[in-house]
């Protein structure tokens, strides 16, 4: 995601499906005609701003430039029989190599892989950037299982002529997932590490060379509001800082100060103030209501310069890390450094992904065999 066009488009795990409009209000349009730009233009000069939505059929309304395919997306497709992606799922369920498998568990896994790749292939034709494909969360603690799954998915993508450079593989940030990322990146396979809720996870992911590291701002803040006893969060609060924004800043500074290739993605950003506080981070995934508000808020050229870049390679160079934070992370040190927030939120994220994957398989089992198979 090193170019301006490589914006990551996030398909949310929640439903109903929200549709985004890229059209500004009439008042905003008249302001733009008068030579003014918008807050969205201003903030977009510092970070890639990405819509957090599910869009199936009308990308032209708020066109994504990259995409994520996941069990959540497959569930959404199956709930909308008329979506343009439904044929990709139906073709997966009719695949002869899967259908001939007598073991139902293997057959469902085959259908799942095929459906992900078929939908991912369709998305790759629609967006100029990369397609991130979810790796089964049931493999989160199995390094070699993750690697085998990614190789299986890559082979299927190759069969439909989607090249590796168009792909990311979305892996949970367990130690085993981080290690899988390191090994896959050493092969030139791009990885996207998610469920990062602590500095130790972010730093270990950066050391592994993950292409994208994703931190969920809102989820971490929710935990901090309702719990105590996490040293990293408590330290941020003592400094008068928002612990979620503090983690993104610290991870960004670490990545850029020490020359790691990873790009940092701030997800679950819920309001304008969050977004303004993170200007300069590589990617910000924002809700449509925030994007629409930014798009409808016109500013004069003078006002544009009142937007401040909070994170930059220059500020990262000035940031001081402790000796403990500069450790070469391994499984033991990561486990000891992950506080209750990251442990609990990682587990909750994995549970959600696993439940969605099982729901997809249950649905596929009911849908199979499709007509004429």
Active-site annotation, residues: 170
Enter the tokens of residue 100: 């001939």
Rounded to whole angstroms, the Cα distance separating 132 from 113 reads 14
What does residue 337 show for φ and ψ, rounded to 5 degrees? -90, -20
Contact 176, 204 (CB under 8 A): no
Query: Across-strand partners of 284?
Result: 49, 266
Enter the tokens of residue 10: 């996030």
What does residue 62 show for φ and ψ, rounded to 5 degrees? -155, 70
What does residue 190 show for φ and ψ, rounded to 5 degrees? -85, 135
- CA-based nearest residue to 248, from 207, 287, 276, 289: 276
Enter the tokens of residue 187: 């092969």
């Amino acid at each position: 995601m090193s170019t301006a066009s490589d914006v990551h488009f996030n398909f949310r795990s929640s439903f109903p499906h929200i549709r985004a409009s890229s059209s500004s209000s009439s008042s905003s349009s008249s302001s733009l005609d008068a030579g003014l730009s918008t807050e969205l233009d201003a903030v977009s000069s510092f970070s890639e701003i990405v819509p957090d939505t599910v869009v199936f059929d009308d990308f032209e309304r708020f066109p994504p430039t990259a995409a994520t395919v996941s069990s959540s997306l497959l569930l959404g497709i199956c709930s909308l029989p008329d979506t343009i992606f439904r044929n990709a799922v139906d073709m997966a369920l009719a695949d002869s190599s899967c259908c001939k498998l007598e073991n139902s568990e293997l057959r469902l896994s085959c259908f799942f892989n095929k459906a992900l790749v078929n939908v991912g292939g369709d998305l790759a034709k629609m967006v100029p950037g990369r397609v991130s494909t979810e790796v089964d969360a049931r493999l989160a603690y199995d390094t070699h299982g993750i690697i085998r799954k990614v190789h299986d998915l890559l082979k299927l993508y190759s069969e439909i002529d989607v090249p590796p450079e168009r792909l990311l593989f979305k892996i949970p940030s367990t130690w085993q997932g981080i290690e899988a990322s390191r090994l896959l990146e050493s092969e030139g396979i791009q990885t996207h590490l998610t469920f990062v809720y602590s500095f130790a996870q972010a730093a270990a992911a950066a050391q592994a060379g993950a292409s994208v590291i994703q931190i969920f701002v809102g989820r971490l803040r929710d935990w901090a509001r309702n719990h105590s006893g996490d040293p990293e969060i408590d330290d941020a609060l003592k400094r008068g800082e928002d612990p979620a924004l503090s983690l993104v800043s610290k991870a960004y500074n670490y990545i850029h100060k020490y020359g790691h290739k990873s790009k940092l993605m701030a997800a679950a950003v819920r309001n304008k103030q969050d977004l303004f506080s993170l200007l300069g981070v590589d990617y910000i995934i924002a809700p449509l209501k925030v994007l629409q508000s930014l798009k409808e808020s016109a500013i004069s050229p003078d006002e544009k310069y009142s937007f401040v870049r909070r994170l930059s390679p220059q500020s990262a160079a000035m940031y001081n890390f402790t000796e403990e934070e500069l450790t070469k992370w391994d499984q033991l040190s990561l486990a000891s450094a992950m506080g209750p927030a990251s442990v609990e939120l990682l587990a909750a994220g994995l549970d959600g992904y696993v439940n969605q994957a099982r729901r997809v398989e249950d649905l596929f089992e009911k849908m199979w065999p499709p007509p004429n198979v």
